[in-house]
Amino acid sequence: MRLTYRVFQDADTDGIRNLILPIQNDEFGLPTSWEEQPDLHDIEGYYCQGRGNFWVAVAGDQVIGSISLVELADDNAALRKMFVAADYRGPEHGVAANLLSTLVERATASGLARIYLGTTSAFKAAHRFYEKHGFDLVDRDSLPSDFSFMKVDTRFYQRSLV
């Protein structure tokens, strides 16, 4: 099946919910709900501001991946909501790498200098993925003051774009 990578559209909201919640709740046992993620109720208003954006990977009419960029002060940005459906993970599909490449190209072209992200210690494969793609582990204390922490974030990364 052909995969498409594109900017979020309002019609993707249900697909994003159907992608993200099972990964958070069922795969990783994170006690979070749709209601606790108001950013996903208004993706356009939260993510698509300034130099930020939200992208999806789609197979047929199913959202199978997501990634977003939130602009911070001082040419910094935060990577958020990177999720890939289990059946599309791994280098043989390239979904995560393509989503990240899309985000990094946009961030670089718009003059951002650094991308930060937070993740949970449970996402071991994500740690390896980010490290393989140029992200360095950083202490929580070294994050920008306007970095928004998620309640499950325990591990933090930074990638320089300059």
Task: Enumerate residues 6+ apart whose C-beta is below 8 A from 31.
Answer: 25
Superfamily of domain covering 3-160: Gcn5-related N-acetyltransferase (GNAT) (3.40.630.30)
What is the residue extent of each domain of the chain? 3-160
Average pLDDT for 42-70? 96
User: What is the tens place of the pLDDT at every residue in 79-130?
Assistant: 999 999 999 998 889 999 999 999 999 999 999 999 999 998 877 888 999 9
What pLDDT, on the 0 to 100 scale, is given for residue 41? 92
For residue 139, give every residue at least 6 positions away whose Cβ sits within 8 Å of its Cβ, in sequence order, or none: 156
The whole-number pLDDT of residue 151 equals: 76
Q: What tokens were used for 25? A: 């709740």
Q: What percent of the chain has pLDDT over 70?
A: 100
- Paired with 54 in beta bridges are 68
Q: Angle at Cα 100 formed by Cα 96 and Cα 95, nearest 5°?
A: 25
- What is the percent of the chain with per-residue pLDDT over 90, rounded to a whole number? 82
**In the prediction, which pLDDT does 34 show?**
92
pLDDT of residue 150: 81
> pLDDT: is 15 or 24 the higher one?
15
